[in-house]
Structure 1
Amino acid sequence: MKRLLRILLIVFVVGAIVIQFFRPEKNLGTSTPDHIFEKEQIPENVKTILKNACMDCHSDQTNYLWYHNIVPVAWMINDHIVEGKDELNFSEWGQLDTFDKIGALEEICREVERKKMPIKAYVQMHKEARLTEEQVAALCAWTEKLSEELIGAE
């Protein structure tokens, strides 16, 4: 019995070491002229909210922490990033048409008001991403203002 436990422990340790070599590619793109920060006039308070609560998963520039290098955490983080960028990638903002931008802005406000974004797992590890009611109100006011500007420019 002890021998079986020792073999299982060795297999587990070796397996844990081996999987460390199968990490996903990191999301470390460079800022482009299409990035929302380059395309839109954004108040500093809203820019800070977006940086702290949105950009890691919704842009091509993720700020990785030490534990993001450990598999299987790295796989989970990568899945969140891929899913987030599929929904909205702020690095590609300039490539969206006006109606897609307005839809994205409405969705941003709706998701933060419902406390669906940022996701709970992210907020647990990034306390600065926890949005106050004032931050939610500021973000929604900005999305509404930008939507109106986009409609007016059309």
Structure 2
Amino acid sequence: MKKALIILMAIYSGNIFSHGSEKHDELETKKQKEKNDNSLIINLGEEYKGQIKPIFARSCFDCHSQKTNYPWYYNLPYIKDMIDKDISDALSHIDFTNDFPFVGHGTPQSDLTYIKKSINEFRMPPKSYQYLHPSAKLSEKEIEIINSWIESAMKRLKD
């Protein structure tokens, strides 16, 4: 009985202290890549906060974040439901609440592609929103700034 117990303890302790099939160099490479990816995302997020976020806060946050400033007419009959639906639809596409990377349909790259296409085709902010919020309209300079940040981010995310 003692021999069986000693053999079981030896097998069990071998499993606890073994590395299995893990190779340290592969694990370290994977950890370093994850660290580099996280650092890149953090850096892109910091650039976003300084340059892009103020533009998005003025033009996009009312629909694409949890930081909506509801207009005076929000509580009018039928208007509330319409606005709530618009916000819900907008958030289902992309949510800027927690900064970059955004909560969207996919990868940071696909979200950036979506944003670039939307602003370059003048679909965002929507004209219907701009009628009552003229300050939300993006200037040509702001579109250039956003496009420049997106292009830089896309290049760095590919590397």
- Choose 1 or 2 for highest CA Rg: 2
Instruction: Say if 2:81 is the partner of 1:75.
Output: yes
Specify the alignment match of 2:16 in structure 1.
none
Aligned counterparts of 1:96 and 1:148: Cα–Cα separation in 2: 20
Matches within 5 A, 1:78-97: 78-91=84-97, 94=101
* Displacement of 1:90: 1.6
* Displacement of 1:65: 1.6
Aligned counterparts of 2:148 and 2:101: Cα–Cα separation in 1: 21
Specify the alignment match of 2:20 in structure 1.
none
Sequence identity percentage: 27
Matches within 5 A, 1:104-115: 104-115=111-122
Moved runs in structure 1, 4+ residues, more than 6 A? none
Specify the alignment match of 1:124 in structure 2.
131
State the Cα deviation string for residues 130-154 of structure 1 (Å, max 9, x = none).
11111111111111222233333xx
User: What letter matches 1:117 in structure 2?
Assistant: M
CA contact (8 A) 1:106 1:144 kept: no
Matches within 5 A, 1:16-55: 40-41=45-46, 42=48, 44-55=50-61
Count of aligned positions: 116
Change (3 A) 1:84 1:95: closer
Change (3 A) 1:130 1:94: closer
Change (3 A) 1:71 1:50: same
TM-score for the superposition, normalised by structure 1: 0.65
Question: Could you say which structure has the higher helix fraction?
Answer: 2
Q: Any gaps of 5 or more consecutive residues in structure 2?
A: 1-40
Change (3 A) 1:95 1:116: closer
